[in-house]
Amino acid sequence: MTLKALPKIDYAAHPLYGGMFEPNPVLGAQMQAALAPLIERTAKDEHARVERFGYRYGCCDALTRELAEQGSATRQLPAAAIDAIHAAARSRLELLQGQLRAAAAAGERSKKKTAWKVVDIGCELWTTVDQALRDMGLFEATATVFGAPAAKLRSMNVLVNYPDPDWITRLFRDVEVGAPPTGGLHFDPDHRCSTKMVLYLNDVGPEQGPFSIVPGSHRWDERSQDRIYRSAFDRLGTVVRSAKWRKRFLSLPAEMQTKAEFGSDMIPGSPEAEALLEAEQVMTGPRGQLNMFNPDAIHRGANVTVGERHAMLIYIDPAWPAN
Ligand SMILES: [Fe+2]
């Protein structure tokens, strides 16, 4: 089976949704009311994107062709560039490591599996990254892909990830069910054009939580109402799978039972789950590997099981003249 569309999950038949709960019309009406403004906001964001970009992906060389067609590309930073970035990021990495060690020593669970720190605009790390990306032509590449006159850095974060023993069982807290092999696969629900990047600051093998992507999936169900529903649900901030929220979700009309973060609900071994895993590209790689992607594509970061992962998450946005 080759997937060409976002996987649809039959929640009525899902053992942890329809298999456990009955839809409730009152809850369904409450959920629809909560989602209505988010659907409207997402549709507006999507409309603005269509007006400016119109899904006219552009390309002029190998990099932009990969970004336009695959929705992803990987490049290695020159040694001098990654050394300069690493030196500028070091104090933040040490701070995050210290915080994680202190939390672990106190027996605290971090709510997220990621510890991250926002990088302030204009600081040394910001300008060092900006220069490295400029030297690699990534601003021009982003402008070309989205048909914009220019592009610029939007934001960046420094991340440190440690192994999280809860990761396998934390999804459905009321039942003893582990995360499926597709757990965490999602697209970003913000409906804006950007090139998102995961820059490895240490070597990342299969056990250090590699980033992964499903090539070409940024165009699956492009401009669809389904993508809007999915994003609206995730924007509600309820990508939790407690019994309460699963029941509410199941009470929505069938066409609205859809999520941007859908991988954790896929049935292990189902043809769509198998096809998605088959298509997934796992981006293990050395320190200095820059994984670029379109956040409309299906992607995830794996759990760290051994050692730790140090990385930066960086966004370049196309820049259009103000209306
Ligand atoms: Fe994401």
Query: What are the pLDDT digits (tens) for 31-60?
Result: 999 999 999 999 999 999 999 999 999 999
Cα of 22 from ligand 1 centre, angstroms: 31
d(CA 219, CA 8): 16
**CA distances to 94, 177, 285, 287 from 91, in Å:** 5, 39, 23, 17
pLDDT band at 257 (very low <50, low <70, confident <90, very high): very high
Residue with tokens 């069982």: 169
Cα of 120 from ligand 1 centre, angstroms: 21
Whether residue 260 contacts residue 230, with contact meaning beta carbons closer than 8 Å, is answered with: yes
pLDDT tens-digit series, residues 220-232 = 999 999 999 999 9
Cα of 292 from ligand 1 centre, angstroms: 12
Tokens of 62: 């190998």
Cα of 105 from ligand 1 centre, angstroms: 29
In the prediction, which pLDDT does 110 show? 62
Cα of 72 from ligand 1 centre, angstroms: 13
pLDDT tens-digit series, residues 305-320 = 999 999 999 999 999 9
Residue boundaries of the structural domains of the chain: 11-319
Q: What is the mean pLDDT of the chain?
A: 93
Calculate mean pLDDT across residues 206-216: 97
Cα of 153 from ligand 1 centre, angstroms: 17
- Mean pLDDT lowest among 13-27, 183-197, 234-248: 234-248
Inform me whether the pLDDT recorded for 109 exceeds 70: no
pLDDT band at 239 (very low <50, low <70, confident <90, very high): low
Calculate mean pLDDT across residues 144-165: 93
3-state secondary structure of 257: coil
Closest alpha carbon to 246 in 255, 257, 230: 257
Cα of 260 from ligand 1 centre, angstroms: 10
What angle in degrees, to the nearest 10, is found between the helix axes of 62-69 and 138-146? 50
In the prediction, which pLDDT does 114 show? 54
pLDDT tens-digit series, residues 78-90 = 999 999 999 999 9
Environment class of residue 228 by beta-carbon count within 10 Å: exposed (0-12), middle (13-18) or buried (19+)?
Answer: buried
Cα of 24 from ligand 1 centre, angstroms: 31
11-319: CATH class: mainly beta
Strands 150-161 and 114-118: antiparallel
27 torsion bin: left (phi>0), alpha (psi -120 to 50), beta (else): alpha
> DSSP characters for 175-221?
TTBPPPTTTT-B--TT----EEEEEESS-B-TTB--EEE-TTGGGTT
pLDDT band at 151 (very low <50, low <70, confident <90, very high): very high
Backbone φ, ψ for residue 209 (5° rounding): 70, 55
Instruction: Enter the DSSP assignment of 127.
Output: H
Inform me whether the pLDDT recorded for 169 exceeds 70: no
In the prediction, which pLDDT does 112 show? 58
In the prediction, which pLDDT does 61 show? 98
3-state secondary structure of 312: strand
Residue with tokens 């592009």: 151
pLDDT band at 1 (very low <50, low <70, confident <90, very high): confident
Residue type, 267: I
Calculate mean pLDDT across residues 12-33: 95
**All residues with CB under 5 Å from ion ligand 1:** 188
pLDDT-above-70 percentage for the chain: 96
